[in-house]
Structure 1
């Protein structure tokens, strides 16, 4: 019987060979495997613990650009990546989540401090930061999305274990983690530039499930009856969307209509202001369309009239306060309140249910300046309309308006 061929482990091999568990020939500047497969060939630092099984599968390549490359497996490499993502959150990502009335202190101080004691919250924070970094560094988009997915998976797994028998100390960190996970799920398709077809109903059901989890934890916090670390942050009754970071100090959303309406042309030289004016125009046109739709909803010609009226009211309450979030959580939270009966009508092709849903898609364009939403509303509307074929005459004008409305610049 032939003896088994011995295998000498390559302790100085490249990260890609280590990931694949194959021997590296340690060629320079690329080993033969990476050269053959046209992969990036990165060697771990000389002093790193290259054989440690506990590290992350993401590493820093040591180049001046600070680009991240997959394949590292040492604790040192994992720590460097996580420090970079934590820094990204503290210097950039939290700013994109902050809103007028919601203290940046909680987002930049309380939540990061809390994350150091609750691993699932830390993982969800790192996942969201990696996804945000993917938008800022297009050249590292794939690597950052891979990192984001890895931390998101760990966050979901950790949170799931906590939720099975949750206790008061976990209420707040679990609530924040669930928000980060929801924002991640919303942003992943647009950040990763996925071209796969969108199933509108499935997308809304996924958002609904995630928001339901957030709402459940929020209720637990309110029922706890004690002052938590996020108490003053979560109890602000009405908060305002910050339309753009650039205009935050010079632009008052409460006075936006008066500020913009007199003469749009006078602000055309300022792109940021022009985009803001388009959002306010879009908001007004959505509210006008809903007002016109109300007469149809109130006409007692269908056994589903009560369901239509309830759904219309929820939609109005979600959209009307913009740019404030309002007591119902704003546009992004609308799926939380819709009923299973309405979803059944939508699934069965009921046109009134469909038109109401399309208004939600158009309203999501009001959030297109946020990196985790971007053109999600447009994709939702177009994916809903694409398979419909011929539009009933009574809805043709409304559908035509919707197609134009979702094409505003992100």
Structure 2
């Protein structure tokens, strides 16, 4: 009896063959099936590929400033990074180039800077892979896996240089921290099928990732930048892009614009009511409530302008540890304040890295809670309506 031919399963096949659930011969730069079908062919990196791409001591500690040679990267990783960079320059940067984030800096200065600082390059590629996950539903899990790998590399590299940050790292570290913050929010919006689970997890994640980098935000807002990023953030004058232009569809319709403006008015009315409640009652944690209210007001009130502290999306960077403790203990006033942030995130739903996440965040906060005390019944009912949650 003739012996059976051994068969080795393809474990590093291209993304297109994985999507079609067919065996890939792993030819480079294009596999045979993609050549035959005239399809775009790209490969996800293996963990060993990513490890080797950042394997030198200088790359791991984020201090590498010289160019890499082609031999430093396996071919699949080189092809993947080329595709990610191409997508960033053709699409992703454009989706971020609003609200005071200069298109020129995002498309020119920052990619150039990323060639000298691996943690910035990794955070840029992570955000791009996440964008592709939001666009390609059939490849979503593959792109999410790629995004998480690059995000992990970015966080590790940034974490190594923050304790004793030098002048040359100031600007790239600031930009990387912006991408990391957006990724932390966007990952939950892109990957969650049934809501974000624990509503505090993304807040805690952002604070953990950026605990050392928050001072970069404060410093940047105080004095700005006199280097390559000069003029990148024009915070006081910029506004949320509400209406779509003829060239792009990133904005919202006129009807939805009016709806968002009305929602903002309703949020501010509700916030003012909360202030009166906080001021009229002396509580054990009065100082925490007042500080949280002020931060919330500063984040939401300027909309559609950004405001001096980065706007609604940056609010988790500035809340106190005391508030987080109260939230975890189930304190009603703390959670009412927190859910106002969730409602405010609805104002940003036109961004691909936010979408419906504000509603999911409020829903996840409400689910484990018991029936609200009588004094909060009306407020909880308004929050449900504003977040468009049906009973």
Matches of 1:218 and 1:187, distance apart in 2: 19
Q: In the alignment, which residue of structure 2 is the partner of 1:267?
A: none
Is the CA contact (8 Å cut-off) linking 1:68 and 1:140 kept in structure 2? no
Match of 1:368 in 2: 349
The alpha-carbon distance between structure 1 residues 248 and 377, as it changes in their structure 2 partners (threshold 3 A), is: farther
Q: 1:238 to 1:358 in 2, by over 3 A?
A: same
Of 346, 357, 369, the match for 2:338: 357
Quote the Cα distance in structure 2 between the aligned partners of 1:40 and 1:247. Answer: 40
Query: Would the alpha carbon gap of residues 294 and 327 (structure 1) be closer, same or farther in structure 2, given more than 3 Å must change?
Result: same
Q: Which residue number in structure 2 is paired with residue 25 of structure 1?
A: none
What is the SS of the residue equivalent to 2:240? coil
Q: Distance in 2 between matches of 1:125 and 1:119?
A: 10
Residues 94, 244 of structure 1: alpha-carbon distance in 2 compared, 3 angstrom cutoff: farther
Shift of 1:164: 4.1
In structure 2, C-alpha distance between the alignment counterparts of 1:157 and 1:211, rounded to whole Å: 12
For residues 238-295 of structure 1, what are the alpha-carbon distances to aligned partners after superposition, in whole Å with 9 as ceiling and x for unaligned? 42222354379999x9xxxxxxxxxxxxxxxxx7222222211211111111122222
Q: 1:221 and 1:392, CA in 2 relative to 1: closer, same or farther beyond 3 A?
A: closer
CA distance in 1, matches of 2:269, 2:29: 65
1:358-379 CA-to-partner distances (Å, cap 9, x unmatched) read: 1111111111111111122112
Alignment of 1:150-161 (within 5 A): 150-161=149-160
Which secondary structure state, in structure 1, belongs to the residue aligned with residue 253 of structure 2? helix
For the pair 1:309 / 2:290, whether they are aligned, the reply is yes
Distance in 2 between the 1:247 and 1:289 partners? Answer: 35
- The range that moved more, 386-395 or 336-345, is 336-345
Which residue pairs with 2:60 in the alignment? none
**C-alpha distance in structure 1 between counterparts of 2:116 and 2:383, whole Å:** 46
Is the alpha carbon distance of 1:326 and 1:139 closer, same or farther for their aligned partners in structure 2, counting shifts above 3 Å?
A: same
The alpha carbon displacement at 1:323 in A equals: 0.8
| SS of match in other structure, 1:365 | helix
Equivalents in 1 of 2:130, 2:288: separation in Å? 38
Which residue pairs with 2:103 in the alignment?
A: 104
**Could you tell which deviates more after superposition, 121-130 or 147-156?**
147-156
What is the alpha-carbon distance in structure 1 between the residues aligned to residue 126 and residue 101 of structure 2? 22
Provide the aligned length of Structure 1 versus Structure 2: 355
Question: Could you tell me which of 329, 334, 339 is aligned with 2:310?
Answer: 329
1:401 aligns with 2:382: yes
CA distance in 1, matches of 2:101, 2:374: 45
For CA contacts below 8 A with separation 6 or more, give which structure has more relative contact order: 2
Deviations 1:217-238 (A, max 9, x none): 2456689997210022146544
3-state DSSP of counterpart to 1:321: coil
User: Residues 178 and 75 (structure 1 numbering): CA distance in 2 closer, same or farther, change over 3 Å?
Assistant: same
266, 278, 291: which is aligned to 2:272?
Answer: 291
1:132 aligns to what? 131
338-347 vs 109-118, which moves further? 338-347
1:8-407, aligned counterparts within 5 Å? 15-16=10-11, 39-45=21-27, 64-66=38-40, 68-70=42-44, 75-195=74-194, 198-219=197-218, 227-234=226-233, 236-246=235-245, 272-407=253-388
Residue of structure 2 in register with 1:259 after alignment: none
C-alpha separation between the residues in 1 aligned to 2:258 and 2:212?
35
Q: Deviations over 1:7-42 (max 9, x none)?
A: xx99xx6641799xxxxxxxxxx9xxx9xxx95421
CA distance in 2, matches of 1:45, 1:336: 46
Residue ranges of structure 2 left out of the alignment (5+ in a row)? 1-5, 50-72
1-structure distance, mates of 2:74, 2:242: 40
Q: Per the alignment, do residues 292 and 149 of structure 1 end up closer, same or farther by CA in structure 2, a change over 3 Å counting?
A: same
CA offset at residue 197 of structure 1? 5.6
Aligned-residue CA RMSD (Å): 3.4
SS of aligned partner of 2:164: coil
Change (3 A) 1:245 1:116: farther
Structure-2 separation of matches of 1:175 and 1:103: 15
Q: Distance in 2 between matches of 1:83 and 1:17?
A: 18
| 5+ long unaligned stretches in structure 1 | 1-8, 20-29, 51-59, 254-270
